[in-house]
């Protein structure tokens, strides 16, 4: 049962204000409400539960241990897993149609493919119905008073502007956060934004005519093509959401694929097995937007002890390690732990949160960028596959916890990301030293046999 202890100062006469009703904002609002705070959430978009959400920009979500543990603290892990499909490894598709399944870890370890919209709707329902959170949709944050934590919001339906007073303001409004943009004017606040030279476009593989999956449903499908790739994740309706990652400009790029003939020729050459399963390829390609991929780093994640940042507003990462949502959910759980420890002492809570999360999330940003190269290029190399087999062998055969591959530390544990990177480096040195000793021993044995033969 989830702890619901109220904290000192929860009912101060002022609400906690959350800007953004996406995944991080909705979950954070539940945590706050369960600590006894009144919570007001302001969201620029309309309520997605009242209509069809905008398509073309989802990049299906991969839910793993960090996200599940955060959801379990509000009693939602089981409900969410019922909306998800387990993927126990990568299915690599060669150009000639050959398949190579690469498991993620031990038997039973899997990441979960889940719909962003379905997950967001469940969290908002929980926040409203059980926790008593007040959502204000079509309300845009236009300014923030950093010294008082006051938000200025505009009702997009009638243009009315009002000031919202809160005891704390949390910006959970995404990679292009209005709250963070206001903080960026603060002396001493560091900010870095880096766009990837590649972009993405969402495509679809529908269910078969008999209503089944066109591909194996329990794998993340990857078509690696060295400088670009296609991926596909399963949905509950037995379709697959596909994402093409490709350079923005150049000979092989989105810029170059400007006509239906270009697109068809490109897919027939590079992804023939996928193209055969995409009856709406051209409609999807030209109907869906081309999305950018950006990494956001900033420091600190708060200013003045009254305004803080969580989720993508603080640390947007590219999606190639499948940890963006999981890291954001972990933010919420860690913030909740700090509130339980320090109560409504917001300067202390926000400062401790920033200090704890900044090194870990910088490490995640680096991991996410590096994993793009691995996914689109290295997964088919004999050296990569040999190392993965060695890692999995050691992981399964050595005593529990002795050796854990980096991917498994990141995906199937809650070890801080920077600690996982440091431990993986130590393990690499251990393996390198072990291989070196083994080679030396073999070399010595060979020399001994050679000398005996010479005699």
Whole-number pLDDT of residue 448: 38
Whole-number pLDDT of residue 19: 98
Count the alpha carbons within 13 Å of 379 in the hemisphere toward its beta carbon. 29
Whole-number pLDDT of residue 57: 59
- Residues whose CB falls within 8 Å of the CB of residue 58, separated by 6 or more in sequence, listed in order: 115, 116, 117, 202, 241
pLDDT digits (tens, 9 = 90+) for 418-431: 999 999 999 999 99
pTM of the predicted model over 0.95: no
The one-digit pLDDT tens for each residue of the chain (455 residues) are: 345 566 666 666 799 999 999 999 999 999 999 999 999 999 999 999 998 555 555 667 999 999 999 999 999 998 899 999 999 999 999 999 999 999 998 888 999 999 999 999 999 999 998 778 999 999 999 999 998 999 999 999 999 999 999 999 999 999 999 999 999 999 999 999 999 999 999 999 999 999 999 999 999 999 999 999 999 999 999 999 999 999 999 999 999 999 999 999 999 999 999 999 999 999 999 999 999 999 999 999 999 999 999 999 999 999 999 999 999 999 999 999 999 999 999 999 999 999 999 999 999 999 999 999 888 878 878 888 898 899 989 999 999 989 999 999 999 999 999 999 999 999 999 998 877 655 444 444 443 344 444 54
CA distance 198 to 244: 10
Distances (CA, A) of 287 to 90, 201, 207, 231: 28, 10, 20, 19
- Residues whose CB falls within 8 Å of the CB of residue 91, separated by 6 or more in sequence, listed in order: 99, 100, 101, 102, 215, 216, 219, 220, 221, 222
Identify which of 172, 167, 130, 226 has the alpha carbon closest to the alpha carbon of residue 41: 172
List b or e across 25-54, with b for residues whose CB sees 16 or more CB atoms inside 10 angstroms: bbbbbbbbbbbbbbbbbbbbeeebeeeebe
- Residues whose CB falls within 8 Å of the CB of residue 92, separated by 6 or more in sequence, listed in order: 99, 100, 101, 102, 222, 224, 379, 380
CA distance 221 to 240: 10
Domain 16-84+115-193+296-371 has CATH 3.40.190.10: no
Whole-number pLDDT of residue 9: 61
The secondary structure of the chain, three-state, reads CCCCCCCCCCCCCCCEEEECCCHHHHHHHHHHHHCCCCEEEEECCCCHHHCCCCCCCCCCEEECHHHHHHHHCCCCHHHHHCCCEEECEEEEECCCCCEEEEECCCCCCCEEEECHHHHHHHHHHHHHHCCCCEEEECEEEEEEECCCCEEEEEECCCCCEEEECCCEEEECCCCCCHHHHHHCCCCCCEEEEEEEEEEEEEEEECCCCCCCCCCCCCCEEEEECCCCEEEEEECCCCCEEEEEEEECCCCCECCCCCCHHHHHHHHHHHCHHHHCCCCCHHHHHHHCCEEEEEEEEEECCEECCCEEECCHHHHCCCHHHCCHHHHHHHHHHHHHHHHHHHCCCHHHHHHHHHHHHHHHHHHHHHHHHHHHHHHHCHHHCHHHHHHHHHHHHHHHHCCCCCCCCHHHHHHCCCCCHHHHHHHHHHHHHHHHHHHHHHHHHHHHHHHHHHHHHHC
Instruction: Give the pair of three-digit tokens for residue 169.
Output: 């303001």
Whole-number pLDDT of residue 378: 81
CA distance 121 to 94: 37
Ramachandran class of 227: left when φ > 0, alpha when ψ lies in -120 to 50, beta otherwise: alpha
């Amino acid at each position: 049962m989830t702890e619901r202890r109220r904290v000192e100062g929860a009912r101060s006469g002022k609400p906690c204000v959350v800007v953004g009703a996406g995944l991080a904002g909705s979950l954070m609002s539940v945590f706050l409400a369960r600590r006894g705070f009144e919570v007001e959430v302001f969201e620029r978009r309309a309520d997605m539960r009242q209509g069809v959400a905008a398509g073309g920009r989802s990049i299906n979500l991969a839910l793993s241990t960090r996200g599940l543990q955060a959801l379990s603290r509000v009693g939602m892990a089981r409900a969410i897993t019922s909306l998800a499909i387990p993927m126990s490894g990568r299915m690599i598709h060669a150009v000639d149609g050959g398949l190579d399944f690469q498991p993620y870890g031990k038997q039973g370890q899997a990441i979960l493919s889940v719909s962003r919209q379905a997950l967001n709707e469940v969290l908002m329902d929980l926040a409203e119905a059980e926790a008593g959170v007040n959502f204000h949709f079509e309300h845009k944050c236009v300014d923030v008073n950093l010294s008082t934590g006051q938000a200025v919001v505009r009702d997009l339906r009638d243009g009315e502007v009002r000031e919202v007073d809160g005891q704390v303001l949390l910006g959970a409004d995404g990679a292009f956060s209005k709250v963070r943009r206001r903080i960026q004017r603060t002396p001493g606040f560091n900010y870095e934004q880096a766009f990837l030279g590649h972009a993405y476009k969402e495509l679809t593989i529908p269910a078969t005519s008999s209503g089944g999956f066109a591909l194996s449903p329990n794998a993340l499908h990857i078509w690696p093509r060295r400088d670009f790739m296609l991926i596909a994740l399963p949905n509950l309706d037995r379709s697959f959401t596909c994402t093409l990652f490709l350079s923005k400009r150049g000979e092989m790029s989105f810029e170059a694929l400007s006509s239906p003939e270009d697109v068809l020729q490109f897919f027939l050459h590079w992804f023939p097995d996928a193209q055969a399963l995409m009856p709406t390829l051209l409609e999807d390609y030209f109907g869906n937007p081309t999305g950018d991929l950006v990494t956001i780093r900033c420091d600190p994640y708060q200013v003045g002890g009254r305004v803080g940042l969580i989720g993508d507003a603080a640390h947007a990462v590219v999606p190639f390690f499948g940890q963006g949502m999981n890291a954001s959910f972990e933010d919420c759980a860690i913030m909740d732990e700090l509130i339980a420890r320090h109560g409504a002492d917001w300067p202390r809570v926000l400062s401790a949160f920033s200090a704890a999360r900044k090194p870990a999330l910088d490490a995640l940003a680096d991991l996410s960028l590096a994993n793009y190269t691995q996914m689109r290029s290295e997964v088919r190399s004999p050296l990569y596959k040999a190392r993965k087999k060695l890692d999995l062998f050691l992981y399964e055969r050595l005593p529990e916890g002795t050796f854990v591959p980096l991917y498994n530390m990141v995906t199937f544990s809650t070890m801080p990301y920077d600690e996982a990177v440091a431990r993986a480096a130590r393990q690499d040195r251990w393996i390198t030293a072990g291989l070196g000793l083994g080679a030396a021993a073999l070399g010595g044995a060979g020399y001994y046999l050679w000398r005996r033969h010479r005699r």
